[in-house]
Amino acid sequence: MMNDPRFLRAGSIHASLSQHGTRVAVITAKDKLRRLLGHGVHQGICFSAEKAHEAQQAEHGIDNVNMLVGWDTPEVYSSQLSEFVLEAGLRVFERYQPALMYLSLTDYIQHKHAPGTAESDRFHQCLDQYFGAFDARGAIVGITADHGMNDKNNALGQPQIIYLSQLLSNWCGADKVRVILPITDPYVVHHGALGSFATVYLDPAVDAQQVVTQLQMVAGIEYVGTRDAACRLFELPPDRIGDVVVIGDHGTALGKSPEEHDLSLLVGGLRSHGGIAEQDVLFTLNRPLKAAYRQEVAAGLRNFDIFDFALNGVEGGA
Ligand SMILES: [Zn+2]
């Protein structure tokens, strides 16, 4: 689980800018991300909505966050967690005028409520109002996501899951496989630790290529490859990936074994991410692009390009 700065292998743009004297503010929904995204930020403001009430001047560059925002610290499983980030962002923007702000939301609502449902619409109208509020205050706003989201249910509306530990144990032997589901963290109420990406460590006696060949015949699996092949294709770090990578299709999630997932949490079915079907995300800026950046769009963008575009690529920017 990526929950500690010691796992980081690169600095961040906002940390680097802060070290060169730029006034930076980072606000995250969950505190685990605050520790990663705030790592290396110098003399900036950095806190999470989840632990807003714990923010201290010395460590977070700000205190009395709840008073500034006018809200109590929200529940972790709520739409208010993301809304708190945006409300706090607006207040920090007005009060401290940081040159660069990084606001990170949570996908709780997107997991629980499909597009077009009342709660989804309400949440997105709320986001839209905040984006408009930043725009009205003169901010250059860049909006992107780290993944999309799909329904992962069968025709009966129940989660469509391939239990990989169970399957591979039958093929290779129970103590020969270890399935890692990277979506797993302490917060699993909204997805039951079920996403569409898994990596599998195999006993050295097991032939990885053989496992790949067998998994390729399983319905619902969109991609399966060896470590080398998958790391080349998806730009992954080989030392952090198992012997085999497995990816479920747009409607299929990957689990370990039935007893390791509490499906009773998933009232109304499963919506999740991690697959190729969730790779396309929005990429939105509130200003016209400079000509050179307009040309780059045709070549294809990645979500992390939003930094370059927001900082350098828009009319009236830096
Ligand atoms: Zn998620």
pLDDT in tens, 273-296: 999 999 999 999 999 999 999 999
Residue 317 has pLDDT above 80, yes or no: no
> Cα(172) to centroid of ligand 1, in Å?
31
Lowest mean pLDDT among 70-79, 86-95, 227-236: 70-79
Residue 16 has pLDDT above 70, yes or no: yes
- Coil, strand or helix: which one is 31? helix
> Cα(13) to centroid of ligand 1, in Å?
24
Contact 16, 36 (CB under 8 A): no
Counting residues of the chain whose pLDDT is more than 70, the rounded percentage is: 99
Cβ atoms within 10 A of the Cβ of 240, count? 14
> Cα(97) to centroid of ligand 1, in Å?
31
Give the C-alpha separation, 242 to 190, whole Å.
26
Contact 165, 179 (CB under 8 A): yes
Task: Please identify which residue in the block is written with the tokens 């004297």.
Answer: 21
> Cα(114) to centroid of ligand 1, in Å?
13
> Cα(315) to centroid of ligand 1, in Å?
33
> Cα(103) to centroid of ligand 1, in Å?
16
Give the C-alpha separation, 198 to 175, whole Å.
18
Burial 80-106 (b: 16+ CB within 10 A, else e): bbbbbbbbbbbbbbeeeebebbbbbbb
Q: What is the pLDDT of residues 128-176, one digit of tens each?
A: 999 999 999 999 999 999 999 999 999 999 999 999 999 999 999 989 9
> Cα(89) to centroid of ligand 1, in Å?
22
> Cα(108) to centroid of ligand 1, in Å?
7
> Cα(19) to centroid of ligand 1, in Å?
31
Give the C-alpha separation, 130 to 87, whole Å.
8
Contact 145, 281 (CB under 8 A): yes
Angle of CA points 262, 265, 269, to nearest 5°: 105
Contact 246, 165 (CB under 8 A): no
- Residue 163: in which H helix or E strand, if any? strand 161-163
Identify the CA nearest to 269 among candidates 111, 50, 99, 96: 111
Q: What is the mean pLDDT of residues 13-39?
A: 95
> Cα(304) to centroid of ligand 1, in Å?
18
Q: Report pLDDT for 132.
A: 98
pTM (2 d.p.) = 0.93
> Cα(102) to centroid of ligand 1, in Å?
19
Split at pLDDT 50, 70, 90, the class of 318 is low
Residue 192 has pLDDT above 70, yes or no: yes
> Cα(113) to centroid of ligand 1, in Å?
12
Residue 189 has pLDDT above 80, yes or no: no
Identify the CA nearest to 220 among candidates 176, 167, 264: 167
- The mean of the pLDDT values for the chain is 94
> Cα(107) to centroid of ligand 1, in Å?
5
> Cα(56) to centroid of ligand 1, in Å?
29
> Cα(216) to centroid of ligand 1, in Å?
26
By CB atoms closer than 10 A (0-12, 13-18, 19+), residue 218 is: middle
